Structure 1
């Protein structure tokens, strides 16, 4: 681990050193490049000044030519008289002047801007007859000012700089003399320099330059209004003004920039876009109101720096590789020495392990004869085994009968292993050296591929303790199975008794519920007598009257009395049926029940009691709530709660007598609240209210089972029952039951799921 850590640290150190050297090479290259660019800037600055001076001197000599032409009498005579002979003579003189001065073109315009004579009168692109009244140089000269202008010629389609001057006849201007300077000869003169140059007009449009494909390109940004102004002036005809593809621009110093221009280069008849770097320097030409720029290519400098970096990087890389190879060789020699020392140490260690291991080890030669053994084998047998060297292993080890039966078709177990292609074979058997020795062991045979020969290693593990443990475990398992059978019989008997007790408990619980029902019915029996006595008294009265009406022949009145008797009979039947349903036994049957229906059923049973004690009962309008439960048992719970509320109000003689039944929905549950105006519940009563046989009523009133049974009924329907005191006084009992949710069919559920 230490070697690995030091090796890893050395690799990181070499990597950091290599990175630092590469960084120094890069920074050094940048420094050399900047120095070379500075030298190039000094040379380019001198060439820029020379180029500007040559251009200014070359154009300046033409600026006074229009003045000389304007003072020529032949020019004035031709404009004044317009004789063809004078004009022809003037054409020849202008042609001769151009040959002498090497000007591009000279021509004379009349006061209407029409060309009457020109130096190129004999050429195909003669100016004679052309009207240039729209040109700015004419507009300036016709009002008495010297004119200057630059544009692309309409007839010649050549770029030129124009000088103009007014021609006077007395105090009147009768025409304009114009001289055009062609810049093509200037471009050709400086075309083969080691730099590129551009002549920019005031709008930064390339008007002249050493690269034809840069002409009419913008070195900067022009707005839409500026482009429209240039187009309206017809300065460059139908040429499209586009931006020069400058992809990078960075100041080098106060007077120069490093720029990269995207250029098309033809290679193998295909266009390739290349980035070309230049050092750009500029200065103004005040005579023309232009700016001239030199773009010195940096390709040679960049290539030199790249070559310099590559050479240094290659040298550093080769040095690092040689150093690494030297280090690697040193490490390999050290590792070889360490490996030899480790081999000697391992051999000694292995000998000690073999001699001191607790497992018996035996080595076999390729013919399966014993070669060597360790002391553990002799300790297992209890005798020296030197006489067995060279003998087959079968004289020492014999497999168990179950393993021997598997190998019955083979001469011995290692032949079986070889035929089956098994490299590691494990068998259980016994060590036999004499008739007195028999040791149970587990034998493991594995093949050892040594460099020069085939050998086998046999390992013997003493299984005496293991066999004893196996016998003990087998006997313990048998004993455990017997105990499990006995315990299972006891548990089955206990389960049978428990089921019997549960059935008995359920029956007792049903009897308690039925007892609570009957107790309520007993308390309500007086009211039941009153409810039945009134209809019976009315029936007797209607029956007596009906007999009298029949005797008198008043059949309509008798028929009406019989209808009243029928209605009273149905009313008595409903009362008796309600009490019969309420009094019957049964288990909780879950199903959809209407809360309002259950409340009204409970009121039919308890209503008479409330009338007797003069309690005002307020019931909320039907909310169409449906809960999941049992109608009869829910009526029993409501009757118990309403009866308790009536008892609580009766025990308070002075006070309001009001009970309210309220229905609310909370999430997926429906809550039925029964609020009374009694004295409320004590803290002790709230703690033990739902315990069996607990009652807060006066002695002899109630068994204390009503609320306990009601709680069991509500919980059996999946709900909850609780009690609390109201803030305004009195008690409030809440019965919370799950809202009934219709279950969709399996097919509908499957369709919705998908």
Structure 2
């Protein structure tokens, strides 16, 4: 029994595969041949075009040396004794400059019989050819030997490549006629080929002119210029170096490989890809002799387009084959579908019933999951609310803890005015009894001032203890520090601590006033604890000007022993403290950190190189707020 796949015998599939391979091969080969024939036609047209442009572009310069050599002033300059040449030079130089400008050449030179340029169109330029000896140049040698010369090379003075035409200036007769007498010198014109290279530049093509040595002298691909299309013999290398044709360069062979012939006029080659380093591109190469001299014009046509035509043909055949196969399979499948239709309908009905049951079950499960999620969301929101309330309570508790620690200092600050008030009141009563109202009024005024100072202190304490409504506003750093400092003035004075404050006037930051005071109180209290047993008790509080990012750096430095490295890494975590057991819970800096984060600021701690610790807060700078004060 024959094996079958998709209802077709194996020999049917084998025949289809053979048919497909044959059709694909024939289509690809036909597309390649047709594309290359079209490419060869384009190449032949390009060669005709480049040959015509060489003839028109360079041919108009070929007669310039002969015309210049006919000028009596040029002949007179070459024939004049050395002591008379200086008088003839200005006229000749001016004439050569005008000729060069009119014809659009690179330079026009007059060369004496010894090969020295005695007059040039660029006589007044920074780089002038006057005084240059070109006796080693083939165009000069050919002009003296055969009447005219033609040579491509790189200028030894300028380093600019160009084509040189030269004509002999005989003692008498017509320029270029060697029978007219001994040669007095020669006239040479240099022509730039840059315009040709620009005009010939075409996408997916490369145009070259190869000289008699096999060296590329004109190229639309700059990287290939002055490379050789064939190996240069040692004798040719010596000749090139002697004539300085390529300005002393050692000519290297272009790394290409010939990979086959198309017809008698074209061949295929792999050349370095000028657009992808380290890669090669396949070109159809066509060539023909150049109109002038022994040069060769070459055009290289990229075969990528022909490859694309092959892929298109292959894709077309493959697509048609797939369509045919799909149609055959469709016909077989349609017949099978008709046969299995009733069974499929029954299976579909059962599947629908099962799907409806599954949908009901999944819908119930999703409803339950959604209800659970809603409950979890509500519970999470309640938890977040409780957490925010707890955080506010912790901050407030931290304030009350600080107030408890400040109770002793505040008691001292309040006792002194109270004793003074009692004494002043007793004295005032005595003055009234003695009928001395002036002294009694003076004592009462002093009592009023003492009461006002006590009211300021208690107001600061009350404002510090109040739970704030957190709102970021512009707060003056100097004012916040002044309010916080009132709480520790007695301790600073009693413990002989030197407090240095350097805050630029008008420095404001985004914060909440009472919470910023709590932060400064915590940091100042920690600094006072740190310097309690230090030999020098110094605390420095500074604020910087806003930087380019609008950041104000507020620092609190102390001269204490610093912070242990193992504690420094966890300093702002709850219950981490450097104080002895029983003197702190380790919540002050944790609360301070949370408050500062609420401002959108950052706090950090580090040990100073000179000893002690430094706490740095980076605030966002704010513009001072203008407020109206009323009664």
Q: TM-score, normalised by structure 1?
A: 0.44
**Correspondence 1:380 to 2:403:** no
Q: 1:658 maps to which residue?
A: 538
User: Would the aligned equivalents of 1:280 and 1:294 in 2 still touch at CA under 8 Å?
Assistant: yes
Aligned pairs for 1:65-464 (under 5 A) are 201-202=72-73, 253=143, 254-257=145-148, 283-285=170-172, 291-293=173-175, 353=329, 357=332, 359-360=333-334, 374=335, 376-377=337-338, 379-380=339-340, 439=342, 462-464=344-346
**Correspondence 1:536 to 2:427:** no
Larger Rg: 1
**Distance in 2 of aligned mates of 1:347 and 1:491:** 53
Q: 1:571 maps to which residue?
A: 453
**Distance in 2 of aligned mates of 1:28 and 1:578:** 100
Offset, 1:490 = 2.1
Q: 2:355 maps to which residue?
A: 473
Q: 1:498 maps to which residue?
A: 380
Match of 1:6 among 14, 29, 45: 29
Distance 1:247 1:475, change over 3 A: same
Deviations 1:695-740 (A, max 9, x none): 3322221222111111110111111222222222222222222222
Q: 1:640 maps to which residue?
A: 522
Q: 2:556 maps to which residue?
A: 674
Secondary structure of the residue aligned to 1:688 is coil
User: Would the aligned equivalents of 2:75 and 2:169 in 1 still touch at CA under 8 Å?
Assistant: no
User: Would the aligned equivalents of 1:255 and 1:282 in 2 still touch at CA under 8 Å?
Assistant: no
Aligned pairs for 1:555-570 (under 5 A) are 555-570=437-452
Distance 1:494 1:659, change over 3 A: same
Point out where structure 1 has 5 or more consecutive residues left out of the alignment: 30-195, 206-221, 231-241, 260-277, 286-290, 296-315, 318-341, 361-373, 382-438, 441-461, 744-754
User: Hey, which of these two has a bigger chunk of strand by percent?
Assistant: 1
Offset, 1:593 = 0.4
Aligned pairs for 1:605-620 (under 5 A) are 605-620=487-502
Offset, 1:282 = 6.3
Offset, 1:23 = 11
**Distance in 2 of aligned mates of 1:547 and 1:24:** 129
Match of 2:405 among 507, 515, 523: 523
**Distance in 1 of aligned mates of 2:554 and 2:326:** 87
Distance 1:5 1:694, change over 3 A: same
Secondary structure of the residue aligned to 2:544 is strand
User: Would the aligned equivalents of 2:468 and 2:515 in 1 still touch at CA under 8 Å?
Assistant: no
**Distance in 1 of aligned mates of 2:324 and 2:427:** 134
Deviations 1:619-661 (A, max 9, x none): 11434321111111011111111112222333x3x62222221
**Distance in 2 of aligned mates of 1:28 and 1:590:** 82
**Distance in 2 of aligned mates of 1:684 and 1:347:** 76
User: Would the aligned equivalents of 1:725 and 1:731 in 2 still touch at CA under 8 Å?
Assistant: yes
Deviations 1:387-418 (A, max 9, x none): xxxxxxxxxxxxxxxxxxxxxxxxxxxxxxxx
Point out where structure 2 has 5 or more consecutive residues left out of the alignment: 1-23, 53-66, 77-87, 109-138, 151-164, 178-263, 266-317, 626-631
User: Would the aligned equivalents of 1:674 and 1:732 in 2 still touch at CA under 8 Å?
Assistant: yes
Secondary structure of the residue aligned to 2:390 is helix
**Distance in 1 of aligned mates of 2:444 and 2:68:** 132
Match of 2:589 among 704, 707, 710: 707
Which structure has more relative contact order (CA 8 Å, sep 6+)? It is: 2
Q: 2:475 maps to which residue?
A: 593
Deviations 1:352-400 (A, max 9, x none): 6466x3x33xxxxxxxxxxxxx4653x236xxxxxxxxxxxxxxxxxxx
The root-mean-square deviation of aligned C-alpha atoms, in Å, is 4.7
Offset, 1:742 = 8.4
Match of 2:430 among 548, 567, 578: 548
Q: 1:685 maps to which residue?
A: 567
Distance 1:226 1:609, change over 3 A: same
User: Would the aligned equivalents of 2:73 and 2:92 in 1 still touch at CA under 8 Å?
Assistant: no
Aligned length, in residue pairs: 389
Distance 1:626 1:467, change over 3 A: farther
User: Would the aligned equivalents of 1:627 and 1:670 in 2 still touch at CA under 8 Å?
Assistant: yes
User: Would the aligned equivalents of 1:280 and 1:293 in 2 still touch at CA under 8 Å?
Assistant: yes
**Distance in 2 of aligned mates of 1:729 and 1:498:** 47
Distance 1:590 1:225, change over 3 A: same
**Distance in 2 of aligned mates of 1:528 and 1:26:** 105
Deviations 1:63-111 (A, max 9, x none): xxxxxxxxxxxxxxxxxxxxxxxxxxxxxxxxxxxxxxxxxxxxxxxxx
Match of 2:608 among 703, 726, 734: 726
Q: 1:171 maps to which residue?
A: none
**Distance in 2 of aligned mates of 1:492 and 1:586:** 33
**Distance in 1 of aligned mates of 2:525 and 2:386:** 30
**Distance in 2 of aligned mates of 1:520 and 1:534:** 22
**Distance in 2 of aligned mates of 1:681 and 1:227:** 88
Distance 1:465 1:579, change over 3 A: same
**Correspondence 1:513 to 2:395:** yes
**Correspondence 1:716 to 2:598:** yes
**Distance in 1 of aligned mates of 2:27 and 2:558:** 87
Q: 1:75 maps to which residue?
A: none
